[in-house]
């Protein structure tokens, strides 16, 4: 005789995406925090710093979007 201690209804993919969104969120915070600090230290390099910030932001957000799509791909 087996007993069910807890039943999980719904999609576990949404929980997985919630956990996967932590990494890009921390990454974006680090990118813009350090970018702001760099701009304060060297304002003459604003163009280069801003370009690198945007590039890092795009890569972090790409990871978040991949995390959003994967539960649908694997059908968890």
pLDDT by 10-residue block (mean), the chain, 76 residues:
68 75 89 95 95 93 84 71
pLDDT of residue 71: 73
Q: Is 4 left (phi over 0), alpha (psi -120 to 50) or beta?
A: beta
pLDDT score for 48:
95
Q: What is the pLDDT of residue 68?
A: 80
Q: What's the predicted TM-score (pTM) here?
A: 0.70
Burial of 51 (0-12, 13-18, 19+ CB in 10 A): exposed
pLDDT at 32: 94
Residue with tokens 């999609």: 11
> Do 22 and 51 touch, CB atoms closer than 8 A?
no
Integer CA distances (angstroms), 58 to 11, 12, 27, 63, in order = 28, 27, 11, 9
């Amino acid at each position: 005789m087996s007993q069910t201690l807890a039943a999980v209804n719904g999609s576990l993919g949404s929980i997985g995406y919630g956990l996967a969104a932590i990494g890009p969120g921390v990454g974006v915070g680090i990118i813009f925090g350090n970018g702001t600090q760099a701009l304060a230290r060297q304002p003459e390099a604003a163009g280069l710093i801003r370009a690198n910030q945007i590039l890092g932001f795009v890569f972090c957000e790409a990871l978040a979007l991949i995390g959003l799509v994967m539960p649908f791909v694997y059908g968890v």
